Amino acid sequence: MFSFAPASLADGLFGSWPTLLALSAEPLAHLRTLDILIITIYFAMVLWIGFYLKGRSNTGEEFFMAGREMTAWIAGLSFVSANLGSLELMGWAGSAYQYGILATHWYWIGAIPAMLFLGLVMMPFYYVCKTHSVPGYLDLRYGGGARSVAAISFAAEMILMSGVNMFAMAVVMKVVLGWDITFSIFVSSIAVAIYVGLGGLRSAIFNEVLQFVLIWGGALLVPILGLIQTGGVAGLKTQIMANMQSMTGVRSDSYFHMWRDTGSFAANPMGVHWTGIVFGLGFVISFGYWTTDFLVVQRVLAAHNLRAARMAPIIGSFFKMAVPFIVILPGLLGLVLLQNPDGSRRQLVGEDVVAACAVSSSSGQVEDGPACSAAMAKSTLPAAYQQKVLSGAPGSELHSYNQALPLMMVRYLGPGLLGLGITALIAGFMSGMAGNVSAFSTVWTYDIYKPLINKKGSDSHYVLVGRLSILIGVAVSIGAACLVMHAHGIMDYVQALFSIFVAPLLATILFGMFWTRATKLAGFLGLLFGIIFSASLFMWVKLVPAALANVALSPDAKPMAENVFRALWAFLFSAIVIVLVSLLTKPRPVAELDGLVYGATKLPKEEPAPFYKKEWVWATLAVIIFAGLNIIFW
Amino acid sequence: MHGSGIPIWFFIGVLLVIYGAMILGYGVFEWTTGAYASGVQLTNLHTPVWWGGVLAALGFFYVIKFRPGNSSK
């Protein structure tokens, strides 16, 4: 999901694409016939799956919930895959290039505790109450007001995010392959609309599992070959430390420490503090996303029984812990392996620098020399190379951080393998978009259309509405993509939607699930005022950039810190509203909260199973590995 | 997947076999003719050959184990 992509991608790519697209630039890679064939076969396969599953998506339960018959493995892989978009792959590889192994926090503490909590603690309530969606749970717990606020905000977020993702991917395809932007948007979005529209959630989940395998098959070679070339991890570390000392103001080995230098904003390359990582990212953002975002929770709700539903996120946590191997490691390898045509070490720069130094297609020279010079002066590019760029010398083109992963692919992957790598990027994009539209379809049908527009439709009527909503959703997404193409200023606002909604929603659900005293009015007001508060903080920093120091509590804070601290304050604000209003209003009788609230619910007894099939065994193993990794890379 | 129908693992197996065969075939062509793509590093490792082989072998395993009608899956 795009909202989980790093700020560097959001701040960079979208701020500069008008320049990037307007001017000519040589694509990073050229595909051969074999590569095109591989990509074509992929599209044929996903469409075949959609047509094959059409006959098994006739009822509402089949279309929206995949018949609730997914195994723990399929639900777990789909759960992780829906989040593993190509923009995340490229964005976090770029972040690893910029910030080192600190970027791994978004994969470990930013995911694992929340995934285990979802499986062990929250899943029984989602599953036992048989809700179709997260807003549906709010309806059962707090009533229609909270449900409508959550459903409308979620549906709008999904469809806008889908459009943003669509356009962002088209930009990536333009920059990497030189593909026409309209072609990329229409081909990929129509393919997603067909296979999800035909097969519903089952088709989306099937393709997400397929895409997960392709992502690994296409991306795994880069770190393997990179490590061979650097002489292993020890060689990589030695070379990075030799390079970094001259480039950054932080200690040269900071790139290899996740926690050691987070006691001060200024001591680490990312400009974050451990309190923000632990409480903002590790708790509010991570728990908000992995436990309340319906995009991912929907995959687990499709499991065939409660044990599978609990195991799915736990299985997913192991794969999530492994993802940095194909994302973070290529970024680190890029620091020492990427080379200019003359053999010197290639330094990547921000998208703003690439845009400022764009070359005119007619003259072959930098369009705006003074702007380019000023932009490069803020970078760590050597002075001699800056001169080469300004003079338009052959082979002196600039590449951005976000191109670290494609550049590494081009370095190692020849014909066929490159097609597989590009297929992995396309697959990542399509799995994210399929997640957006399938979640949108369910929330639109069950939480907006059914309660607010037509309460008395038949099951087949709602399936039809669901199918149409996918087509309409994709069409609106294409419209949103066109909108941001022509008014890129709205991108920042769309990007912020997730971080604005997630914290108040988390507070509302946690209090609803674990506090019998939380009342209907408190849930509604906590969610509504929390969203308003969070949006206000966003606008404050947007209009007064210096306010970042207030929001993140330090003048040394960088934009990456803003999201985590804003989420933390919004969560606390919502929590206070919920507690205060609950204490002033009358709660529902505890008997009405069976199946919804911890302490008022008798959970069904699970079938006896050998110890190796029990969720707590695997969760314990996940915790041990998670703790071990954080200690190793302390 | 739980229930009847073709398992997703079969689809994955089919795709991996096709991809593996194509990449392996091209790798063998490269190796025998020496016509390596320019700019690609570590061609001496013959990556398409062994990676294509791994993909194809994995694909075959899934195709056979999860083929439609196989009751042992």
Q: Which of B26, B36, B51 sits opposite A221 (nearest CB)?
A: B51
> Which residues on neighbouring strands pair with residue A349, listed in sequence order?
A400
The minimum CA-CA distance between B67 and chain A, rounded to whole Å, is: 15
The minimum CA-CA distance between A208 and chain B, rounded to whole Å, is: 10
Q: List, for residues A232-246, the tens digit of each pLDDT value.
A: 988 888 888 877 665
Q: Max alpha carbon distance in chain A (Å)?
A: 77
Residue with the two structure tokens 């991608």: A9
Residue A489 DSSP class? G
Q: List, for residues A483-532, the tens digit of each pLDDT value.
A: 777 665 565 666 677 778 888 999 999 999 999 999 999 999 999 999 99
Identify the pLDDT of residue A365.
78
User: Does pLDDT of A212 surpass 70?
Assistant: yes
Q: Decide: helix, strand or coil at residue A303.
A: strand
CB A436 within 8 A of CB A161: yes
CB A299 within 8 A of CB A312: yes
Q: Give CA separation, A598 vs A193, A409, A510, in Å.
A: 39, 49, 10
Residue B16 counted as domain residue: yes
Phi-psi region of A21 (alpha: psi -120 to 50; beta: other; left: phi over 0): alpha
CB A5 within 8 A of CB A88: yes
Identify the pLDDT of residue A494.
65
The minimum CA-CA distance between B18 and chain A, rounded to whole Å, is: 9
Distance between CA atoms of residues A476 and A473, nearest Å: 5
Distance between CA atoms of residues B65 and A281, nearest Å: 41
The count of residues in chain B is 73
Residue B3 counted as domain residue: no
Backbone phi and psi for residue A365, each to the nearest 5 degrees, phi listed first = -110, 165
Residue B19 counted as domain residue: yes
CB B60 within 8 A of CB B13: yes
Higher pLDDT, A529 or A126: A529
Q: Provide mean pLDDT across the span B25-36.
A: 91
For residue A444, give the nearest of A469, A464, A461, A467 by alpha carbon.
A469
Q: Provide mean pLDDT across the span B16-21.
A: 96
Q: List, for residues A274-320, the tens digit of each pLDDT value.
A: 888 888 888 888 898 898 888 888 888 888 888 899 999 999 999 99
Distance between CA atoms of residues A93 and A328, nearest Å: 5
Identify the pLDDT of residue A14.
47
Q: Which of A67, A210, A225 sits opposite B11 (nearest CB)?
A: A210
Identify the pLDDT of residue A536.
92
Q: Provide mean pLDDT across the span A130-154.
A: 90
Residue B47 counted as domain residue: yes
Q: Which of B11, B42, B45 sits opposite A45 (nearest CB)?
A: B11
Identify the pLDDT of residue B2.
46
Measured between beta carbons, the chain A residues lying within 8 angstroms of B43 are: 414
Distance between CA atoms of residues A7 and A298, nearest Å: 26
> Number of C-alpha atoms within 13 angstroms, CB side, residue A512?
34
Taking the alpha carbons of A172, A173, A178, A181 in that order, is the dihedral positive or negative? negative
Distance between CA atoms of residues A631 and A619, nearest Å: 18
Distance between CA atoms of residues A519 and A517, nearest Å: 6
Q: What is the DSSP string of A311-378?
A: HHHHHHHHHHHHTHHHHHHHHHHHHHH-B-TTSSBP--B-HHHHHHTPBPTTT-SBS-HHHHHHHHHT
Q: What is the DSSP string of A513-529?
A: HH-TT--HHHHHHHHHH
For residue A515, give the nearest of A592, A601, A597 by alpha carbon.
A597
> Would the CB atoms of B15 and A49 count as touching at under 8 Å?
no
Q: How many domains does chain B have?
A: 1
Residue B42 counted as domain residue: yes
Band (A250; pLDDT cuts 50, 70, 90): low
User: Does pLDDT of A12 surpass 60?
Assistant: no
User: Does pLDDT of A18 surpass 60?
Assistant: no
Q: Provide mean pLDDT across the span A384-390.
A: 82
Q: Decide: helix, strand or coil at residue A493.
A: helix
| Cβ count within 10 A of residue A627 | 12
| Cβ count within 10 A of residue A365 | 11
| Mean pLDDT for all residues in chain A | 84
> Would the CB atoms of A206 and B11 count as touching at under 8 Å?
yes
> Would the CB atoms of A414 and B48 count as touching at under 8 Å?
yes
ipTM: 0.92
Per CB distance under 8 Å, which residues of A are interface residues toward B? 32, 34, 37-38, 41-42, 45, 48-49, 52, 56, 67, 69-71, 74, 202, 206, 209-210, 213-214, 217, 221, 225, 228-229, 304, 410-417, 420
Residue B18 counted as domain residue: yes
User: Does pLDDT of A392 surpass 50?
Assistant: yes
Distance between CA atoms of residues A427 and A204, nearest Å: 12
Q: With 0-12 CB in 10 A as exposed, 13-18 as middle and 19+ as buried, what is A377?
A: exposed
Identify the pLDDT of residue A559.
66
Measured between beta carbons, the chain A residues lying within 8 angstroms of B48 are: 414, 416-417
Identify the pLDDT of residue A2.
36
Q: List, for residues A163-207, the tens digit of each pLDDT value.
A: 877 887 887 788 778 888 788 888 888 898 998 888 888 888 988
In chain A, pLDDT over 90 holds for what percent of residues? 31
Nearest chain A residue to B24 by CA: give it. Answer: A416
Q: Which of B1, B12, B41 sits opposite A412 (nearest CB)?
A: B41
Helices and strands: H and E segment counts in chain B: 2, 0
Q: Give CA separation, A471 vs A45, A159, A237, A246, in Å.
A: 20, 11, 49, 53
What's the domain range around B23? Answer: 8-65
Identify the pLDDT of residue A383.
81
> Would the CB atoms of A228 and B2 count as touching at under 8 Å?
no
Q: Which residues, 6+ apart, have CB-to-CB distance to A537 below 8 Å? A: A551, A566, A569, A570
Amino acid sitting at position A27: P
Residue B67 DSSP class? -
Identify the pLDDT of residue A25.
61
Measured between beta carbons, the chain B residues lying within 8 angstroms of A208 are: none
Residue B46 counted as domain residue: yes
Q: List, for residues A72-86, the tens digit of each pLDDT value.
A: 999 999 988 887 776
The tokens for A213 are 């395998």
For residue A411, give the nearest of A326, A341, A338 by alpha carbon.
A338
Identify the pLDDT of residue A22.
45
User: Does pLDDT of B63 surpass 70?
Assistant: yes
Nearest chain A residue to B25 by CA: give it. Answer: A416
Band (A1; pLDDT cuts 50, 70, 90): very low
Distance between CA atoms of residues B65 and B12, nearest Å: 12
Residue B72 counted as domain residue: no
The minimum CA-CA distance between B31 and chain A, rounded to whole Å, is: 12
Q: Provide mean pLDDT across the span A614-619.
A: 90
> Would the CB atoms of A410 and B5 count as touching at under 8 Å?
no
> Number of C-alpha atoms within 13 angstroms, CB side, residue A124?
18
CB A474 within 8 A of CB A437: yes
The tokens for A453 are 């527009």
Q: Which of A42, A70, A206 sits opposite B2 (nearest CB)?
A: A70
Can you list the pairs that A449-452 forms with residues at least 24 positions away whose Cβ atoms lie under 8 Å? A451/A139, A451/A144, A451/A147, A451/A148, A452/A148
Q: Provide mean pLDDT across the span A121-126.
A: 85
